[in-house]
Amino acid sequence: MVLQAIGGSTNGLIHLTAIANRTAHRIDLEAFDRLGREVPVLIDLKPSGSHYMEHFHHAGGVPKLMAQLGDSLISTPGPSPRDTARRGRGRRGGAGQDVIRARKSPIKPEGAMAVLHGNLARAAR
């Protein structure tokens, strides 16, 4: 969800898949594709946006982004994503910061990536 909301690159998914393959967990490409359609892009970063990663950090970073994603965060082993999001509430980047958008006013209504199937996907192999 965070990768989609940041507008992350396909390299992010490649690295997540590589990490998951070293564990008992796997990346569910169908679930990832569904998230891409449900999770809006909330971060305005270059190269397609206006701000640099340091601006994202000063605006509250991942905890602030996770606070915007709210109750839709999925559970993971280890520290709860909701606990991380709670730490982001009220941190830095008050009025006037426009790096991290509210879910109700996203940069784009859908995530940055989709999973391709069929002839297009086969041609890329």
pLDDT tens for residues 5-37? 998 888 888 998 999 999 998 888 888 889 889
Mean of pLDDT values over 105-110:
92
pLDDT tens for residues 49-90? 899 999 999 998 988 898 888 777 766 666 666 666 666 554
SS3 content of the chain, % helix, strand, coil (to 5): 45, 5, 50
| SS3 state at 56 | helix
Q: Domain-by-domain residue ranges, the chain?
A: 2-123
